[in-house]
């Protein structure tokens, strides 16, 4: 893709920044084969009933919802997904000593798999690779529980207390971890450049990191295929493909199509 002034400007901001915070959503993982939720081909766009499986109230109250949830976990694309160039670009940003924090709404674990330091990754919605008991708090590898599902347990109980198991992720209606959210918001206040990548910026409180960083004096860049509610306050909006744009603005190559915000 040919260079454009706005892309070159964003790359210059990255080069000059000392504390870059990256906020990622489902859009960064679509090139890894994991569909997003709210996009034109999103999981919930194509099948609104699928959203029911992500509601903690239905999950706890309805055994059939839990059984369907376990079946969906068996076939989840996260198990075969690999980090794409977008993920690797953020690793490069860390290797350059510029990454202050990586706030992700994703539960796929691909940032960690790509090589970003666990100390810098803030998984605000948890991680699908781990299971948790809603009763006693036991945690363990998701694959161990899925092996029980494959062996015939449609709704496997906790081996410690017999309680309900689910993925160690935040469902609708489930409380976020206050310490995790506070860390994310603190990082937003401390950054001098916030890159919002592949996120619709609709889910709070994490979406609030954008105006928070802007109010603290940071540059704010949105990289997303669809428009967001914060495009008007962004210093730049880049709708180019994430796997192409991020390597170009985070590394030494530059130049992608973009538009000023």
> Which residues constitute the domain of residue 48?
37-80+128-169
Predicted TM-score (pTM) of the model is: 0.88
Banded pLDDT at 255 (limits 50, 70, 90) = very low
Q: Are residues 6 and 46 in the same domain?
A: no
Please report the pLDDT score of residue 253 as a whole number: 44
Please report the pLDDT score of residue 152 as a whole number: 96
Domain count, the chain: 2
- pLDDT over 80 at 140, yes or no: yes
Cα gap 127→105, rounded to integer Å = 10
Q: Are residues 225 and 135 in the same domain?
A: no
- pLDDT over 90 at 151, yes or no: yes
In tens, the pLDDT along 170-192 reads 998 899 999 999 999 999 999 99
Q: Are residues 215 and 242 in the same domain?
A: yes
3-state secondary structure of 60: helix
Q: Between 261 and 10, name the one with better pLDDT.
A: 10
Cα–Cα distances in angstroms (integers) from residue 175 to residues 23, 65, 124, 134, in the given order: 20, 20, 11, 12
Q: Is the peptide bond before 205 cis (omega within 30 degrees of 0)?
A: yes
- pLDDT over 70 at 112, yes or no: yes
Banded pLDDT at 8 (limits 50, 70, 90) = confident
Q: Are residues 184 and 139 in the same domain?
A: no
Catalytic: which of 87, 100, 111, 125?
125
- pLDDT over 90 at 54, yes or no: no
Q: Are residues 3 and 73 in the same domain?
A: no
Q: Are residues 141 and 256 in the same domain?
A: no
Of 150, 134, 125, nearest to 61 by C-alpha is: 134
- pLDDT over 80 at 47, yes or no: no
Residue 75 CB contacts under 8 Å (≥ 6 apart), including other chains: none
CATH of the domain at 150: 3.30.1600.10
Q: Are residues 224 and 144 in the same domain?
A: no
Q: Are residues 238 and 184 in the same domain?
A: yes
- Sheet with strand 20-24: strands edge to edge: 121-123, 99-104, 20-24, 193-197, 219-223, 236-238
User: What is the mean predicted confidence (pLDDT) over 47-73?
Assistant: 85
Banded pLDDT at 259 (limits 50, 70, 90) = very low
DSSP letter for 170, please.
Answer: P
Please report the pLDDT score of residue 156 as a whole number: 97
pLDDT above 90: percentage of residues in the chain = 80
129 annotated active-site:
no
Q: Are residues 26 and 145 in the same domain?
A: no
């Amino acid at each position: 893709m040919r260079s454009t002034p706005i892309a070159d400007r964003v790359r210059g901001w990255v080069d000059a920044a000392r504390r870059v915070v990256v906020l990622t959503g489902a859009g960064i993982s679509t090139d890894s084969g994991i569909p997003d939720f709210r996009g034109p081909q999103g999981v919930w766009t194509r099948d609104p009933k699928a959203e029911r499986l992500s509601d903690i109230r239905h999950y706890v109250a309805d055994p059939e919802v839990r059984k369907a949830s376990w079946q969906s976990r068996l076939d989840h694309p996260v198990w075969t997904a690999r980090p794409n160039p977008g993920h690797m670009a953020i690793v490069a940003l860390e290797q350059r000593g510029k990454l202050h924090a990586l706030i992700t709404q994703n539960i796929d674990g691909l940032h960690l798999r790509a090589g970003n330091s666990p100390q810098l990754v803030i998984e605000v919605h948890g991680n699908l690779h781990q299971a948790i008991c809603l009763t006693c708090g036991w945690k363990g590898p998701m694959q161990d529980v899925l092996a029980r599902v494959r062996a015939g347990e449609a709704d496997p109980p906790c081996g410690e207390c017999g309680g309900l198991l689910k993925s160690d992720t935040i469902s609708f209606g489930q409380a976020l971890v206050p310490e995790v959210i506070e860390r994310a918001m603190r990082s937003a206040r401390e950054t001098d450049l916030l890159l919002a990548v592949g996120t619709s910026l609709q889910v709070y409180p994490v979406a609030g990191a954008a105006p928070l960083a802007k109010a603290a004096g940071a540059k704010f860049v949105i990289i997303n295929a669809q428009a967001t509610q914060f495009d008007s306050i962004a210093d730049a909006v880049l709708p180019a493909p994430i796997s192409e744009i991020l390597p170009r603005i985070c590394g030494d190559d530059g130049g992608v199509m973009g538009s000023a915000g």
